[in-house]
Amino acid sequence: MKTITTLCMLLLTIVLHAQTVTTVTEGAFLDGFGITSNGDVYCTNFNGNEVFKYEFSTGNVTTFATGFVNPNGIGVTNDDTLYICEKGGGTIHIYNTDGDVLDTVTGLNNPTGVKYSALDDTVLWVSYDQSSLNVIDPETLESEIVIQGAPLNGPSGIAFIGDQTYISNFNDRKIFRLEEDDTLTEIAQLPASAAQNNFLGFLTSKGGFLYATQFGEHRIYRIDPETGDVFLFAGSTQGNADGNLDTATFNLPNGILGDDTNDRIYISDFATANLRIIENASLSVNAFAKADTSIYLFSNPQSDTITIKGTLVKAETYTMWVYTSSGELVKTTNGIVESGVLQTTLNTSTWSKGVYLVKIQAGDTVVTKKVVK
């Protein structure tokens, strides 16, 4: 566990610009996503037998294909070929965007998640029951096991950042980096504060970060792949509320898809089978540089205080909230930004050891910073 021991620690700043959540009720969006080059989104109905298509340009929802037994993950290649997991049938079906079946890969053990790796032109898939990571050669359609058994524990999610591959476990919510020697390094684990269903649904990437759904908590978490730090991104109690990301609620969020091109994150709510769309989801490093904010946290470990000081040039007042990493509100304060400068002090003497998020809102600007005690 890291501690604040330096005199001055510049922590990560996230500026959110009108992030909102909307709901699409047509179709049945329960599980894994795939996206084609034109922004169209495909999602499986695990409790049914269909794959639904959300058309980006019109917002229309149509049935793309039917006849599956517990369809699950979806992967899309560079030429928009779709690989669709049929968990119940032990098959991965290969389609074009016209809905034609191109081929099938049969005899698989519970295929759960599937993604195309452009780096080496292969298709990776994970087996929940077999706890394995597997690879399919798109030319021969032969599948072979890459890793089987611990630390994999009911894997479901696959995501890529650059040339790096990440795998997530459904059962214990752990996220791993796939190394060059085909071993796995654990980088993070989602919290488990729900009374039940503490599962990690699926994994995605956007703007250089990983995002994952926590099924039973009704929350979405953002993970820094370099440090393994886990941040609460959205969600609180179980619900279906749209609107501002800070107050929107989710209902057993499961599938998740980051769309960098259109600055969106898609969520499938398992309880309602609704498609949830997070707009203006920019959280990339490039977005930080454009912000007119510069907030620093100064810590003296002997005094149990943190001084917060920085620039908020367009604001006159601010509200500050402190949350635990699981989203529990610890403190709320209001203050004045004098001459564009914010300065205040937090007393941390009563805080338990752990990760905290300090969120500051001034006008339309929201800055979130992490503190580790």
Q: Where are the alpha helices (DSSP H) in the chain?
A: 285-289
| Nearest in space to 101 (alpha carbons), one of 74, 88, 82 | 82
Is 83 exposed, middle or buried, given 0-12, 13-18 or 19+ CB atoms closer than 10 A?
Answer: buried
Given a contact cutoff of 8 angstroms between Cβ atoms, the answer to whether 76 and 36 are in contact is yes
Fold classification of 289-372 is Immunoglobulin-like (2.60.40)
Counts for the chain of helices (H) and strands (E), in that order: 1, 34
Residue range 19-281 in CATH 3.40.50.2000: no
The tens place of each residue's pLDDT in the chain, 373 residues long, gives: 233 222 223 333 333 346 899 999 999 999 999 999 999 999 999 999 999 999 999 999 999 999 999 999 999 999 999 999 999 999 999 999 999 999 999 999 999 999 999 888 999 999 999 999 999 998 899 999 999 999 999 999 999 999 999 999 999 999 999 999 999 999 999 999 899 999 999 999 998 899 999 999 999 999 989 888 888 889 999 999 999 888 899 999 999 999 999 999 999 999 999 999 999 876 433 333 333 445 666 664 546 788 887 766 567 888 888 888 777 888 899 988 887 778 888 888 888 888 788 888 877 677 777 777 7
| Cβ neighbours of residue 233 closer than 8 Å, sequence gap 6 or more | 211, 219, 220, 221, 222
Q: What CA–CA distance (Å, rounded) separates 145 from 126?
A: 9
The pTM (predicted TM-score) of the whole model is: 0.75
Q: What CA–CA distance (Å, rounded) separates 239 from 87?
A: 28
| Cβ neighbours of residue 29 closer than 8 Å, sequence gap 6 or more | 43, 45, 52, 54, 255, 268, 269, 273, 274, 275
- Domain residue spans of the chain: 19-281, 289-372
| Nearest in space to 25 (alpha carbons), one of 70, 59, 72 | 59
